[in-house]
Amino acid sequence: MNILILYYSMYGHIHRMAEAAAEGVREVAGATATLRRAPETLQPEVLEKMGALEPQKAFARVPVCTVEELPSYDGILFGTPTRFGNMCGQMRQFLDATGGLWAKGALIGKPGGVFTSSATQHGGQESTILTFQTFLLHQGMVVVGLPYSFAGQMRIDEITGGSPYGASTIAGGQGERLPSENELAAARFQGRHLAGIAAKLAR
């Protein structure tokens, strides 16, 4: 059983969450995790002006995903930064190219979930995940969130991401805050949870 973790990361926050989610997937017996990046749509000179080229070197080794490979996985966990309460343009453009899969029903019945990041504590994390889930529903996927059995989302002793909709992290206005251990634990939990559901569906 192979779970795809498909993400876009500009400064590395979502990449770290994706790695944690992969760790969670691998905790399920017989499950493997495959990391893939959504294709970049910005020119290198634009990314350089945004200060993103250097951070992206850390995960440049992760292969870029193709639409054609999506049906070969038993479940998909998507990661995207928040852009004004919605997914980033890179992920949106990639998903818009999956019409052929929709026409064939190629993703029907596969579990799918979403994790995200935002600059601020209330920067649209939940709306990003909720609006992303409409794609999962149109593709006939089984929506998997972050249940309250992950008690870390109920913490009030520290600032933290995470909600029943999915794992999340707060990056800071300048990207200065890296995912906390609690946020990484949420990503691991969601990865493990999705892989467990995929295993049950496979049986």
pTM greater than 0.95 (yes/no)? yes
Predicted local confidence at residue 26, as pLDDT: 98
CA 137/CA 125 separation, integer angstroms? 19
Task: Mark the binding-site residues for substrate, compressed into ranges.
Answer: 102
According to CATH, the topology of domain 2-202 is Rossmann fold (3.40.50)
Task: Mark the binding-site residues for FMN, compressed into ranges.
Answer: 9-14, 82-84, 138
Predicted local confidence at residue 84, as pLDDT: 95
Give the residue extent of every domain in the chain: 2-202
Please write the tens of the pLDDT for every residue from 87-131. Answer: 999 999 999 999 999 999 999 999 999 999 999 998 999 999 999
State the chain's mean pLDDT as an integer.
97
Cα–Cα nearest to 75, from 13, 15, 149, 136: 136
Average pLDDT of the residues in 48-63? 94
164 contacts: CB under 8 Å, gap ≥ 6: 145, 146, 147, 148, 153
Task: Mark the binding-site residues for NAD(+), compressed into ranges.
Answer: 11
Task: Mark the binding-site residues, compressed into ranges.
Answer: 9-14, 82-84, 102, 138
Confidence of residue 203 (pLDDT cuts 50, 70, 90): confident
Please write the tens of the pLDDT for every residue from 120-165. Answer: 998 999 999 999 999 999 999 999 999 999 999 999 999 999 999 9
